[in-house]
Amino acid sequence: MKKKVLALTLSATLALSLVACSATTDSTPSDAQGSSSGGSETTTVANKDKPLVWFNRQPSNSSTGELDMTALSFNEDTYYVGFDANQGAELQGTMILDYITKAIESGAEIDRNGDGVIGYVLAIGDIGHNDSIARTRGVRAALGTAVETDDVIDSTPVGTNVDGTSTFVKDGTLEINGKTYTVRELASQEMKNSAGATWDAATAGNAIATWASSFGDQIDIVASNNDGMGMSMFNAWSKANEVPTFGYDANSDAVAAIAEGYGGTISQHADVQAYLTLRVLRNALDGVDIDTGIGTEDDAGNVLGSDVFYYDEASRSYYALNVAVTAENYQDFMDSTVTYAPVSNQLDATAHPTKNVWLNIYNSADNFLGSTYQPLLQKYDDLLNLNVEYIAGDGQTESNITNRLSNPSAYDAFAINMVKTDNAASYTGLLSQ
């Protein structure tokens, strides 16, 4: 079993190594001040100069979406790994629109109460998160309910909008089989619990119960910014009422639920993202070209195709591409924790010696990161010879995470998943001390 290094002082770390000699571990900490690139020779590397990857939450202004280039260029080995949020958001909206169109064309009763209005409700994850904003905009753009201000679609939650008078959205129209339907966002809200955690599945389950009791037969479609909230609403109400529900992330439980009426989801290629998260660190630690094992084949044969990712040099960001998962192809996505075959080859430990990485997940309760992303990371860390310590936050405060980065000198590299996209300085400040 791989030993995960604890954030201890140097003396405590050495003591732990002595104890570990009698334990069933397969690695020991490298030089507490950071290792040089490859080989047995070690050099002192300042924490501010060690490889850093931001993932899943791109450093940015939560109000404007403007990227935090100070954080993204913290040092020459700093990158971001995520997915193309706009492409995925457009894909989710299109998936919902296609479902509605095909269902009506086939004679299905999408308009459950026959009032000529296709009503949908929307679970919003985090009103200050770029991905959540993009997904809300994607649904509204596809369904014709978007309101633009200065050429930007408003992503504000409407609360309730049964009468169609909200100024944040407008009624859309669809003409199918010679009949014109009104499309209306009946309700939407940020799924934030009383403790402050966003993307909260339990809150979404409570919300759909409230909405259903108020205007149940007017709800024809349920949409969600992610599968965690989507599945909570599906299990709480829409499955029993046969209302198609659409999420995002392609979590294994959501993909399996497509066979039971879940409308569809979006795979953001978590397998590719998890690989990239650790691969850019591996390359920086090895002192090789950053494209090694990514766009250029490495010495083990690992390489990604341009059909699953792209790199934006200006923002130092790697983006995985998204795929719609529907009734037509869901069986190909049943296990979301399988590594991506083209990059599943083991690196030679002689050429790529073990290095220590500190990595955090912003919220231990996050369904996607906990059930899909981290299991993939744990498979790739073995393949890439990285000894990763996984830190789980509470989804509410950065200090719950940063307090456990008390000894960054014990690590060779860092992978950071912030609670809020504005808070990169909370981490870079620690590394700069």
Stated pTM of the model: 0.78
One-letter amino acid identity for 213? Answer: S
**Where do the domains of the chain lie, and which CATH numbers do they carry?**
10-81+270-309+334-431 (no CATH), 111-243 (3.40.50.2300)
Beta-carbon contacts of 39 under 8 Å, excluding residues fewer than 6 positions away, are: 353
- The b/e string for 349-370 (b: 16+ C-beta within 10 A; e otherwise) is eeebbbbbbbbbbbbebbbbbb
Q: What does DSSP assign to residue 418?
A: -
Give pLDDT, residue 64: 83
One-letter amino acid identity for 403? Answer: N
- Collapse the DSSP code of 153 into the 3-class scheme (helix H, G, I; strand E, B; otherwise coil) and give the result: strand
Angle between helices 130-143 and 85-105 (to 10 degrees): 30
Give dist(CA 38, CA 350) in Å, integer.
9
Give pLDDT, residue 125: 97
* Side-chain half-sphere CA neighbours of 217 within 13 A: 6
Q: Which long-range contacts (CB under 8 A, 24 or more apart) does 48-51 make?
A: 48/74, 48/75, 48/428, 48/431, 48/432, 49/75, 49/77, 50/75, 50/77, 50/408, 50/411, 50/412, 50/413, 50/414, 50/431, 51/77, 51/78, 51/280, 51/281, 51/284, 51/285, 51/412, 51/413, 51/414
Decide if 389 contacts 29 (C-beta within 8 A): no
Give pLDDT, residue 92: 98
Decide if 161 contacts 171 (C-beta within 8 A): no
**Along the 433 residues of the chain, how does pLDDT read in single tens digits?**
443 433 333 333 333 333 333 333 333 334 434 444 444 344 689 999 999 999 999 999 988 889 999 999 999 999 999 999 899 999 999 999 999 999 999 999 899 999 999 999 999 999 988 899 999 999 999 999 999 998 999 999 999 999 999 999 999 999 999 999 999 999 999 999 999 999 999 999 999 999 999 998 999 999 999 999 999 999 999 999 999 999 999 999 999 999 999 999 999 999 999 999 999 999 999 999 999 999 999 999 999 999 999 999 999 999 999 999 999 999 999 999 999 999 999 999 999 999 999 999 999 999 899 999 999 999 999 999 999 999 999 999 999 999 999 999 999 999 999 999 999 999 999 999 9
Of 398, 313, 410, nearest to 360 (Cα)?
398
Residue in this structure with the two tokens 């049943």, named with its chain if needed: 334
Decide if 55 contacts 270 (C-beta within 8 A): no
Give dist(CA 16, CA 18) in Å, integer.
5
Tokens of 287: 């002192």
Tokens of 50: 């060690």
Give dist(CA 228, CA 218) in Å, integer.
23
Indicate if the alpha-carbon torsion angle 280, 132, 315, 68 is positive or negative: negative
